[in-house]
């Protein structure tokens, strides 16, 4: 098979803002106000080419319509910072974002945020303290929006013309077809509300510094590709707002200047994040018997998936049969646990086992500089995330002799 592919991408970006700063000396305060406008445009185009067999014969003609898709984002934003005596810092922002992916009724999202910081180390009782040289408390609340749905026209009712290889014959004439496209006229921004509380600290004039943060993110109107109700749309799955999700966690960072000389410095940093996430709503109705939305298609047969989004569990949890192991911890091939104890191993025995997302992330970085030489390294570690070896599972179960045949089959069932 011989085929050709080409893609052109055009991205445009414009950012325009006005900034105003005023020192209010009488009350030892400072005001910093910004108002701005942003314009972003993303366009992708792919012309179509015919596919050819190895012998040069045409296998499939080119689709008459090239692929072209475009979306635009417009933002108006404002930000105000107000600080009093360098001790009390207030920040408020407001964005209004418009996305061409949503209808005129739903395309504008309003995203406010507010934050307060208290520089405790500027207070008289800590000022000049060389042991605890920096201490800052931060509180924040904010709403952010998400519009990345992959489909640029998900709200528009329209028809698309079929290719010449997808016609229908009436009498002796073939007709190209017009298909109405599935759409959700009410699709809108996904919103995430975040609350965070953090403390920054520094000891010994900043030679040791770090922070602790707690965050709680509540995502509503999660944009997801889900099943539509039978009979209500020109497709069976659509991008729409469904489901809620919760993420909470704690982050801890610690940085140190181990050596701080004029010629030689050595810094090291460490951070650890613990995150817990859970799907809290997936469907319009609460149904405790609903096992979830299957996801994570795998090879080795058609229609097989390995993961699932379920309420009360981590997103994309693996959904598998429970392996039976020998006393020596070796898996017994083809033997699984009958989890519901009904005497048969079937789809009711699947369970949610781990997720590809880590629960704990560790990071370590260090840098040494001597005169003009720099040495640095970054180490990262994830814990609690699992992977599924589909290369092994896809080929490993075939019996000798039938492997080639089955692979041919799956290639030709497409």
Partner 1 sequence: MRSQLIKITGMIAAAALFLASCTKDLDRQPKYGNTAASLYVNLAGYKSVMAKVYAGLTLTGNNGPDGSGDISGIDEGFSSYIRQYWSAQELSTDEAVIGWNDATIKDFHHMTWSPADVFIRALYSRIYFQITLANEFIRESDASKVSDRGISGADATEIAFMHAEARFLRALSYYHAMDLFGNVPFVTEDDNVGAFLPNQITRANLFNYIESELKAIETTLKDARTNEYGRADKAAAWALLSRLYLNAQVYTGTAKYSECITYCNKITAIPGYALINNYRNLFLADNNTTSGSEFIFAVNFDGNKARTWGGTTFLVHAPIVGSMQAGDHGVDFGWGGVRTTKQVVQKFSGPVGDSRQNFYTSGQNLEINDISSANDGYGIIKFRNKTSTGGNGSNPTWVDTDFPFFRLAEIYLNYAEAVVRGGSGGSSATALTYINNLRQRAYGNASGNIVSGDLTLPFLIDERAKELHWEAVRRTDLIRFGQFTEGTYLWAWKGNTLNGQAVGAHRKLYPIPSADLVANPNLRQNDGY
- Contacting partner 1 within 208-247 (CB under 8 A): 226-237
Helix (H) or strand (E) holding 408: helix 403-412
Which one, 18 or 264, has the nearer CB to partner 1?
18
Q: Site residues for partner 1, window 371-400 (CB under 8 A)? A: none
Q: Does 339 bind partner 1 (CB under 8 A)?
A: no
Half-sphere exposure of 268 toward its Cβ, with a 13 Å CA cutoff? 5
Q: What contacts 10, CB < 8 A, 6 or more positions away?
A: 41, 42, 43, 45
> Exactly one of 7, 169, 262, 326 binds partner 1 (CB under 8 A); which one?
169
Q: What contacts 137, CB < 8 A, 6 or more positions away?
A: 117, 118, 120, 197, 198, 199
Q: Site residues for partner 1, window 67-126 (CB under 8 A)? A: 68-72, 74, 76, 98-100, 104, 107
Q: Does 165 bind partner 1 (CB under 8 A)?
A: yes
The size of the interface with partner 1 (CB under 8 A), counted in residues, is 87
Stretch that binds partner 1, among 123-131, 161-169, 273-281, 323-331 (CB under 8 A): 161-169
Smallest distance, partner 1 to C-beta of residue 355, A: 20
Q: Site residues for partner 1, window 344-363 (CB under 8 A)? A: 346-348
Q: Does 55 bind partner 1 (CB under 8 A)?
A: no
Q: What size, in residues, is the chain?
A: 414
Strands 159-161 and 317-320, by their bridges, are unpaired
Q: Does 170 bind partner 1 (CB under 8 A)?
A: yes
What is the three-class DSSP state of 313? Answer: coil
> Exactly one of 141, 175, 252, 375 binds partner 1 (CB under 8 A); which one?
175
Q: Site residues for partner 1, window 261-300 (CB under 8 A)? A: 283-285, 287, 290-291, 293-294, 300
Smallest distance, partner 1 to C-beta of residue 245, A: 18
What is the three-class DSSP state of 405? Answer: helix
Which one, 59 or 383, has the nearer CB to partner 1?
59
> Exactly one of 301, 312, 331, 396 binds partner 1 (CB under 8 A); which one?
301
Backbone dihedral region for residue 340 (phi beyond 0: left; psi -120 to 50: alpha; all else: beta): alpha
Closest CA to 205 of 260, 251, 253, 252: 260
- Give Dmax over CA atoms of the chain in angstroms: 94
């Amino acid at each position: 098979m011989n085929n050709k592919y080409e893609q052109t991408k055009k991205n445009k970006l414009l950012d325009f803002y006005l900034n105003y700063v005023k020192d209010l000396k009488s009350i030892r305060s400072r005001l910093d106000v910004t108002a701005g406008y942003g314009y972003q445009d993303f366009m992708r185009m792919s012309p179509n080419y015919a596919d050819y067999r190895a012998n040069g014969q045409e296998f499939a003609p080119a689709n008459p319509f090239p692929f072209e898709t475009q979306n635009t984002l417009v933002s108006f934003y404002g930000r105000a910072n107000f600080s009093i005596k360098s001790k009390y810092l207030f920040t408020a922002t407001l964005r209004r974002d418009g996305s061409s992916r949503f209808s005129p009724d739903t395309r504008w999202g309003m995203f406010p945020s507010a934050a307060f910081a208290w520089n405790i180390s500027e207070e008289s009782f800590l000022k000049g303290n060389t042991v605890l040289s920096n201490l800052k408390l931060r509180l924040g609340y904010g709403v952010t929006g998400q519009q990345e749905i992959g489909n640029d026209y998900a709200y528009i009712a329209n028809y698309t013309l079929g290719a010449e290889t997808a016609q229908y014959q009436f009498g002796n004439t073939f007709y190209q077809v017009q298909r109405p496209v599935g759409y959700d006229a009410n699709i809108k921004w996904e919103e995430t509300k975040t609350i965070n509380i953090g403390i920054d600290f520094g000891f010994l004039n900043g030679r040791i510094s770090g922070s602790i943060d707690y965050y709680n993110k509540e995502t509503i109107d999660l944009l997801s590709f889900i099943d539509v109700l039978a009979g209500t749309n020109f497709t069976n799955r659509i991008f729409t707002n469904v489901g809620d999700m919760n993420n909470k966690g704690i982050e801890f960072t610690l940085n140190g200047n181990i050596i701080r000389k004029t010629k030689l410095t050595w810094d090291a940093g460490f951070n650890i994040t613990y995150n817990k996430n859970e799907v809290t709503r997936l469907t319009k109705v609460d149904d405790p018997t609903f096992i979830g939305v299957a996801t994570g298609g795998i090879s080795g047969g058609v229609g097989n998936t390995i993961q699932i989004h379920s309420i009360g569990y981590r997103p994309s949890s693996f959904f598998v049969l429970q392996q039976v192991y020998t006393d020596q911890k070796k898996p017994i091939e083809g033997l699984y646990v009958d989890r519901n104890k009904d005497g048969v191993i079937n789809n009711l025995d699947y369970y949610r086992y781990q997720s590809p997302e880590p629960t704990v992330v560790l990071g370590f970085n260090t840098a040494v500089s001597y005169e003009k030489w720099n040495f640095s390294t970054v180490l990262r570690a994830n814990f609690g995330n699992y992977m599924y070896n589909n290369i092994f599972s896809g080929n490993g179960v075939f019996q000798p002799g039938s492997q080639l045949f089955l692979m041919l089959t799956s290639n030709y069932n497409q």
